[in-house]
DNA sequence: CGCGGGTTTCCTGATT
DNA sequence: GAATCAGGAAACCCGC
């Protein structure tokens, strides 16, 4: 349904805003990465920065007008696209005294955008709900109230396809459903919602993969093991401001993984069961899961490599069992619990 | 304050 | 060659 032009615009927008070495992105656009710093989306896609949309009421916009609008906003913001889209649309609506988005033409546009975004594999843009921009108001609406509540993490932001819009009536998710802002402010830490922002953790998928290279110098040989923490004014050598706290008891990695698996509606294609009864599961988006784990632990530098090390420690404790020869595949062991269908009352 | 649990971080080497 | 796995080593944080 989405037009190639729209795909182009949004794809470029995503790449422009969130240049990252994230594997998913690389996979999608291997040739686009490092050189698009100053990408002018509209120019690339359309050759000129047409702004005809400004002269037209939104309910009369054609797809081209929508594209112009998006391009214009991308050019202007280069970052917090969501709030700008929302605001711009609101302004346009106000200008033409549109009272709602109920016009069929605009609804179709919203659906078009939604469909496109939902089919994107880009983990960040895929969370955007154009049609739901109303009401979200660009606010940070993530609920981290419960350390054990997986829904409080931004699975939406890290997954790639499905929406949670149908879950709005589900009390477990209701407070976290407004992740429609393109600025992705919701990726902040839970506490940040009350004003304690975590600037280093605004865009975990972006920051993480740059961690090793953004030091800007070749890695030096260092002794084995974790280096001693260097106390500075701001923190340690690795992170000037981050304060890693341990999760409260009961929030262990394997439980976190389990909770992703037993809530497929929140899973967003991050993980899947290979054999539900045997407890065999597979990471589909390993880095995204690692990011979520890092988000939960307020550690923006978490990677799948580190997460998997922690997972391997579970072998000894028989919380996990090895699954030989299969990448990204693990199996719950006898010392794990809470994942069996009998335990959680799922009849499969 | 010390200790243990549970990671986290980094590493080397092997495998896919 | 990159991603992943395996596991050693040591640091770190937290609760007790």
Tens of pLDDT, residue by residue over A56-67, are 776 676 666 666
Q: What is the DSSP letter of A273?
A: E
pLDDT score for A253: 92
pLDDT digits (tens, 9 = 90+) for A230-239: 433 333 333 3
Nucleotides on strand C with an atom closer than 7 A to protein CB?
3-16
Q: How far is CA A97 from CA A60, A92, A94, A269, in A?
A: 13, 8, 5, 41
Q: Read off the pLDDT of each residue in A16-29 and give the average, rounded to a whole number.
A: 35
Q: Which nucleotide is nearest to A235 (CA to C1')?
A: C12
Residue at shortest CA–C1' distance from B10: A225
pLDDT score for A218: 37
A35-49, A199-213, A251-265: which has the highest mean pLDDT? A251-265
Q: Which nucleotide is nearest to A229 (CA to C1')?
A: C11
Q: How far is CA A178 from CA A131, A142, A234, A236, A260, in A?
A: 12, 8, 33, 35, 20
**Rounded to whole angstroms, how far apart are CA atoms A239 and A232?**
10
Residue at shortest CA–C1' distance from C6: A312
Window from A20-34, A71-85, A100-114, A139-153 with minimum mean pLDDT: A20-34
For A339 and B6, how far is CA from C1' in angstroms?
21
Domains of chain A, CATH where assigned: 253-343 (1.10.10.10)
**Rounded to whole angstroms, how far apart are CA atoms A50 and A64?**
10
Given a cut of 70, whether residue A268 has pLDDT beyond it is yes
Residue A106 · residue A81 · CB < 8 Å? no
Cα R_g (chain A), whole angstroms: 22
Confidence of residue A332 (pLDDT cuts 50, 70, 90): very high
pLDDT score for A309: 93
pTM exceeds cut of 0.85: no
Query: Could you write out the three-class secondary structure of A278-317?
Result: CCEEEECCHHHHHHHHHHHCCCCCCCHHHHHHHHHHHHHH
| Element spanning A210, H or E | helix A204-210
Q: Is the CB atom of residue A132 positioned under 7 angstroms from any atom of strand B?
A: no
Q: Read off the pLDDT of each residue in A266-294 and give the average, rounded to a whole number.
A: 89
**Rounded to whole angstroms, how far apart are CA atoms A327 and A145?**
34
Residue A29 · residue A18 · CB < 8 Å? no
The Cβ-side half-sphere exposure at A220, using a 13 Å CA radius, reads 6
Q: Which nucleotide is nearest to A255 (CA to C1')?
A: B6
**Rounded to whole angstroms, how far apart are CA atoms A92 and A68?**
13
Nucleotides on strand B with an atom closer than 7 A to protein CB?
5-12, 16
Q: Is the CB atom of residue A312 positioned under 7 angstroms from any atom of strand B?
A: no
At A329, give phi and psi (nearest 5°): -110, 135
Q: Is the CB atom of residue A254 positioned under 7 angstroms from any atom of strand B?
A: yes
SS3 assignment, position A81: helix
pLDDT score for A61: 66
List residues, Cβ < 7 Å, touching strand C. Answer: A 23, 26, 223-230, 236, 243-246, 248-249, 283, 286-287, 304-305, 308-309, 312, 315, 322, 324, 327-329
Q: In what order do the strands lie in the sheet with A320-321?
A: A271-275, A280-283, A329-332, A320-321
- Percentage of residues in chain A having pLDDT higher than 70: 28
């Amino acid at each position: 349904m989405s037009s190639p032009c729209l795909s182009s615009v949004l794809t470029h927008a995503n790449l422009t805003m969130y240049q990252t070495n994230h594997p998913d992105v690389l996979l999608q656009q291997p040739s686009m990465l490092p050189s698009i710093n100053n990408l002018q989306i509209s120019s690339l896609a359309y050759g000129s920065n047409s702004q005809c949309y400004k002269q037209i009421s939104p309910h009369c916009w054609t797809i081209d007008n929508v594209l112009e609008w998006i391009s214009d906003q991308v050019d202007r913001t280069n970052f917090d696209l969501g709030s700008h889209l929302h605001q711009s649309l609101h302004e346009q609506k106000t200008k033409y005294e549109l009272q709602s988005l109920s016009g069929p033409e605009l609804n179709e546009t919203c659906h078009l955008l939604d469909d496109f975004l939902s089919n994107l594999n880009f983990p960040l843009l895929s969370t955007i709900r154009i049609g739901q921009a109303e009401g979200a108001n660009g606010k940070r609406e993530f609920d981290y109230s419960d350390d054990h509540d997986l829904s409080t993490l931004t699975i939406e932001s890290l997954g790639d396809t499905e929406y949670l819009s149908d879950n709005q009536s589900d009390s477990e998710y209701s407070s976290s459903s407004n992740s429609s802002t393109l600025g992705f402010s919701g990726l902040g830490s839970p506490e940040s919602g009350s004003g304690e922002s975590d600037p280093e953790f605004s865009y975990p998928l972006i920051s993480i993969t740059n961690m090793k290279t953004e030091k800007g110098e070749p890695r030096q040989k260092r002794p084995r093991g974790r280096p001693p923490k260097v106390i500075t004014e701001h923190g340690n050598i690795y992170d000037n401001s981050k304060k890693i706290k341990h999760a409260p008891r009961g929030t262990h990695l394997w439980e976190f993984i389990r909770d992703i698996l037993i809530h497929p509606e929140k899973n967003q294609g991050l993980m899947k069961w290979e054999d539900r009864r045997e407890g065999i599961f597979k990471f589909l988006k390993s880095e995204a899961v690692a990011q979520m784990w890092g988000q939960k632990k307020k550690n923006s530098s978490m990677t799948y490599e580190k997460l998997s090390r922690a997972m391997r420690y579970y072998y000894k404790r028989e919380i996990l069992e090895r699954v030989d020869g299969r990448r990204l595949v693990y199996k719950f062991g006898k010392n794990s619990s809470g994942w069996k269908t009998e335990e959680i009352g799922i009849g499969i």
